[in-house]
């Protein structure tokens, strides 16, 4: 056991050393399995009853280091298997830390024999901290410990079996910078649009020389933000000796499209540089089992979790995965957090953060920059008015944000390519007529259900070239459909595309006509970015039609407020895509909201729930009694979290999950690598939808005894169409998840 404690301590110390807390990490690692020395655990190893062992190291930490440092260590150590618990109240299926410390065996003398290092100085994150900073530091320390413990256990059993361990990437970010430089040199081009892109790119390279902190990149859609922001991130990382780039895109976007752009630009032919992470494959078992031993007598059980630790140089993830992990208490979700330290975090379409969690999200971004040596870039065509200088008055308003783009108002004037028309309320019959009457048209609506209905109706009207693009399709099928569309657009063939908002971020495609269902002004701007994208029709040559759907298709609840404010802006501004209109829109969205509307989640079990994540954190400041489990249970970026369904390949589904990959999953003990390879073959659906599909016999869990419902595959192939996606509109499933884009 001592060898494992020393190894975990050394690795955990290296991880925490990135944010100046090496001694903290080494202490946590050396104490984490101290409880295995007690007699009851030794009897368990010999075949006796299961015995938890994490609280003893936590108790020793408090005894040796006191209520300040000791309590911070105790949270991380006690939670390294089951998850971060509340300080003084049971919750989230976990016994609170206070009770666990009271019940633990006192092994302080054993702990002192482990030659624990002295803590010589405070890390930057704990210099003049408030309650948010302290709990954030505990999460980061917890992340270091969980990842170090899992990696050391994985390495040990790999050595025993003589198996290789596929972890990390051995190259240097400077190499990737050189590859990107070579790729950008091949793009070139003439005309006003390409001139603006070159100017933006040059500004990004110049700004990358600055020290770490908060940045904004305000560039109109079509101005080359994706590759320019990557250029800034890599240059900035090399300049400041940072470790990786984390690219965060909206949960309604096409994650694989951005990842493909990066892979092509960086020569990632082996798929080992760019990591996509967006699925719900992070799993810690049922709540009822959280406090049971998660290693088993042979120590192997914990390796069955397909947790991702973001150990690649370029990570492309979703806002849901990113922010929910930052406020989670689960080991599998928190495991990766320490790899955000000394990283460049690019928030693509930063304006999409939901209002009920806006203040906590801004606080987390500020803390990454303040205490962990990271840089955060708000990258968008419609910069959210969340900076203090914009007039945002919440305490979490961002300060000292440096703009990267050269003269954003001028860029907007130069890149104006469309005229916006307002069509008022339009029924489905008229929408289908608009599709049928225009040979090349993109129509964007607010739900998968509406998009599918319009596409099917247009096909029924015998319109040529009708296609559908929603997240009901796997990434593999979406990629193929987009390639077909691009070829047809170039060849001037009919393309009538119906899509949800996923088309609006990271998809380089251009139509002469775009119809957009009423949504936020930021969404209208993104839709306009898919129209006359290369200015091929001349200034104002593109046509964007904004309409309000009839026939029972109102904006989803999470978009209703944005659509209402956008409606007012459309009535007050002739062109809703100017910076003035965008500022008025975000002023209406953010500034008129009460502080509790921007931190609105109910935290705590129903009989004691109170509003506000930040309030819960600051209430727990006394005695370091933070309610980690309550916050983890409450924090959701969207109301109905998504869960993946694997779509197997078949004769009529050739692009989906290969049979050999699924056979490997059926017998896998450590499915992490398989989980990565399965990403292109997933459809994300609301959890209730997936449960109903399983209950209907249309889907089954793979190795449920080992993985629970971590991996679920579709078995009724008739429910998935490679052109229309997964259909759950059968009578027993009707009405489920209709507002998901």
> 324-354, pLDDT tens digit by residue?
999 999 998 999 999 999 999 999 877 778 8
Identify the residue whose tokens are 């810690």.
284
> 429-472, pLDDT tens digit by residue?
999 999 999 999 999 999 888 999 999 999 999 899 999 999 89
**Can you tell me whether residue 196 is helix, strand or coil?**
helix
Question: Which range, of 382-396, 563-577, 727-741, averages the lowest pLDDT?
Answer: 727-741
pLDDT-derived band at 739, boundaries 50, 70, 90: very low
Give yes or no for a contact between 357 and 365, defined as CB atoms under 8 angstroms apart: no
The pLDDT score that the predictor gives to residue 675 is 83
- Other beta carbons within 10 angstroms of residue 168's beta carbon come to 12
CA distance 375 to 214: 6
Q: Is the pLDDT of residue 304 over 70?
A: no
Residue 269 lies in a domain: yes
527, 542, 576: which is the final residue of a domain? Answer: 576
The pLDDT score that the predictor gives to residue 673 is 74
The pLDDT score that the predictor gives to residue 741 is 38
CA distance 153 to 166: 14
Same domain, 217 and 325: yes
* Average pLDDT value for residue range 560-570: 88
Same domain, 378 and 468: no
Q: Is the pLDDT of residue 177 over 60?
A: yes
pLDDT-derived band at 740, boundaries 50, 70, 90: very low
Residue 230 lies in a domain: yes
Determine the straight-line distance between the first and last CA of the chain, rounded to whole angstroms. 49
Residue 734 lies in a domain: no
Q: Is the pLDDT of residue 691 over 60?
A: yes
The pLDDT score that the predictor gives to residue 582 is 85
Residue 389 lies in a domain: yes
CA distance 130 to 649: 52
pLDDT-derived band at 387, boundaries 50, 70, 90: confident
Task: Supply the pTM of this predicted model.
Answer: 0.84
Average pLDDT, the chain: 87
Six-digit token string for 597: 């509307």
The pLDDT score that the predictor gives to residue 184 is 93
Same domain, 7 and 83: yes
**Can you tell me whether residue 700 is helix, strand or coil?**
strand
Same domain, 406 and 427: no
> 277-291, pLDDT tens digit by residue?
865 455 555 544 555
Residue 291 lies in a domain: no
Q: Is the pLDDT of residue 719 over 90?
A: yes
User: Ranked by mean pLDDT, which of 69-73, 192-196, 548-552 comes out on top?
Assistant: 69-73
Same domain, 396 and 440: no
Q: Is the pLDDT of residue 577 over 50?
A: yes
What is the residue range of 609's domain? 596-634
Same domain, 22 and 98: yes
Q: Is the pLDDT of residue 307 over 70?
A: no
* Average pLDDT value for residue range 594-616: 91
The pLDDT score that the predictor gives to residue 62 is 96
CA distance 316 to 349: 14
Same domain, 7 and 151: yes
Same domain, 539 and 605: no
> 245-258, pLDDT tens digit by residue?
999 987 655 677 78
Is 51 or 550 the better-scoring residue by pLDDT? 550
Task: Give the rounded percent of residues in the chain with a pLDDT score beyond 70.
Answer: 91
Residue 235 lies in a domain: yes
Question: Which range, of 249-253, 389-393, 545-549, 550-554, averages the lowest pLDDT?
Answer: 249-253
Question: Which range, of 48-62, 343-357, 521-535, 554-568, averages the lowest pLDDT?
Answer: 554-568
> 260-276, pLDDT tens digit by residue?
899 999 999 888 899 88
The pLDDT score that the predictor gives to residue 252 is 53
Q: 527-530 long-range contacts, Cβ below 8 Å, gap at least 24? A: 527/442, 527/444, 528/221, 528/417, 528/418, 528/420, 528/577, 529/220, 529/221, 529/222, 529/381, 529/504, 530/442, 530/503, 530/504
Same domain, 221 and 114: no
Same domain, 385 and 245: yes
Same domain, 365 and 237: yes
**Count of structural domains within the chain:** 4
Q: Is the pLDDT of residue 738 over 50?
A: no
* Average pLDDT value for residue range 43-72: 88
Same domain, 400 and 440: no
Q: Is the pLDDT of residue 420 over 50?
A: yes
Give yes or no for a contact between 142 and 207, defined as CB atoms under 8 angstroms apart: no
Residue 464 lies in a domain: yes
pLDDT-derived band at 633, boundaries 50, 70, 90: very high
> 77-112, pLDDT tens digit by residue?
999 989 999 999 999 889 999 999 999 999 999 999
Q: Is the pLDDT of residue 301 over 60?
A: no
pLDDT-derived band at 562, boundaries 50, 70, 90: confident
> 469-509, pLDDT tens digit by residue?
998 999 899 989 999 999 999 999 999 999 998 888 767 89
Residue 587 lies in a domain: no
Is 155 or 736 the better-scoring residue by pLDDT? 155
């Amino acid at each position: 056991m001592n060898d494992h404690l020393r190894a975990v301590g050394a690795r955990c110390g290296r991880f925490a050393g990135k944010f100046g807390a090496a001694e903290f990490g080494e202490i946590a690692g050396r104490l984490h399995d101290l409880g295995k020395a007690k007699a009851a655990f030794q009897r368990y190893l010999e075949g006796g009853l299961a015995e938890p062992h994490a609280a003893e190291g936590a108790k020793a930490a408090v005894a040796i280091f006191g209520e300040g440092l000791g309590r911070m260590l105790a949270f991380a150590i006690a939670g390294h298997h089951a998850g971060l618990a509340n300080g003084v109240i049971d919750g989230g299926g976990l016994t609170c830390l206070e009770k666990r410390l009271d019940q633990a065996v006192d092994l302080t003398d054993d702990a002192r024999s482990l030659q624990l290092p002295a803590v010589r100085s405070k890390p930057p994150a704990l210099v003049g901290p408030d309650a948010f900073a302290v709990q954030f530091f505990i999460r980061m320390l917890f992340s270091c410990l969980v990842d170090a413990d899992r990696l050391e256990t994985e390495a040990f059993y790999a050595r025993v079996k003589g198996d290789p361990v596929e972890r990390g990437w051995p190259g240097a970010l400077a190499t990737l910078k050189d590859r990107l430089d070579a790729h950008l040199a091949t793009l070139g081009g003439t005309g006003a649009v390409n001139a603006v892109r070159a100017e933006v790119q040059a500004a990004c390279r110049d700004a990358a020389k600055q020290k770490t902190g908060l940045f904004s990149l305000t560039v109109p859609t079509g101005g080359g933000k994706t590759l320019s922001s990557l250029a800034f991130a890599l240059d900035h990382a090399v300049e400041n000796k940072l470790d990786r780039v984390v690219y965060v895109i909206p949960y309604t976007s096409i994650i694989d499209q951005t990842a493909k752009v990066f892979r092509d630009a960086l020569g990632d032919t082996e798929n080992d540089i760019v990591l996509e992470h967006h699925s719900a494959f992070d799993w810690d078992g049922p709540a009822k089992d959280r406090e049971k031993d998660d290693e088993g007598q042979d120590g192997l059980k914990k390796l069955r979790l397909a947790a991702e630790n973001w150990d690649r140089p370029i990570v492309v993830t979703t806002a849901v995965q990113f922010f929910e992990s930052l406020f989670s208490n689960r080991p599998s979700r928190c495991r990766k957090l320490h790899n955000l330290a000394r990283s460049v975090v690019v928030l693509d379409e930063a304006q999409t953060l939901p209002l009920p969690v806006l203040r906590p999200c801004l606080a987390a971004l500020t803390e990454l920059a303040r205490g962990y040596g990271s840089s955060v870039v708000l990258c968008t065509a419609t910069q959210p008015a969340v900076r203090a200088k914009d007039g945002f008055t919440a305490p979490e308003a961002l300060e000292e944000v440096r703009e990267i783009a050269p003269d954003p108002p001028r860029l907007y004037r130069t890149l104006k390519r469309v005229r916006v028309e307002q069509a008022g309320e339009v029924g489905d019959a008229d929408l289908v007529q608009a599709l049928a009457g225009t040979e090349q048209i993109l129509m964007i609506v607010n739900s998968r259900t509406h998009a599918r209905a319009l596409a099917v109706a247009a096909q029924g009207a015998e319109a040529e070239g009708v296609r559908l693009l929603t997240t009901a399709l796997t990434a593999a099928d979406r990629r193929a459909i987009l390639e077909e569309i691009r070829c047809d657009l170039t060849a001037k063939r009919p393309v009538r595309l119906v899509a949800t908002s996923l088309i609006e971020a990271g998809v380089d495609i251009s139509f002469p006509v775009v119809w957009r269902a009423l949504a936020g002004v930021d969404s209208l701007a993104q839709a306009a970015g898919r129209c006359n994208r290369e200015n091929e029709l001349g200034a104002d040559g593109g046509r964007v039609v904004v309409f309000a759907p009839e026939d029972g298709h109102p904006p989803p609840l999470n978009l209703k407020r944005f659509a209402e404010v956008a409606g007012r802006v459309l009535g007050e501004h002739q062109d809703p895509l100017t910076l003035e209109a965008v500022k008025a829109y975000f002023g209406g969205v953010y500034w008129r909201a009460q502080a509790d509307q921007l931190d609105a989640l109910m935290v705590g079990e129903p009989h004691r729930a109170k509003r506000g994540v930040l309030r819960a954190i600051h209430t727990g400041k006394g005695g370091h009694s933070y309610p980690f489990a309550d916050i983890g249970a409450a924090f959701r970026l969207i109301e109905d979290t998504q869960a993946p369904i694997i779509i197997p390949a078949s004769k009529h589904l050739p692009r989906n999950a290969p049979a050999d990959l699924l056979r490997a999953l059926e017998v896998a003990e450590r499915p992490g690598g398989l989980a990565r390879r399965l990403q292109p073959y997933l459809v994300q659906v609301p959890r209730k939808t997936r449960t109903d599909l399983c209950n209907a016999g249309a889907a089954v869990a793979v190795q449920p005894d080992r993985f629970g419902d971590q991996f679920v595959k579709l078995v009724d192939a008739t429910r998935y169409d490679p052109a229309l996606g997964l259909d759950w509109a059968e009578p027993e499933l009707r009405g489920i998840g209709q507002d998901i884009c």
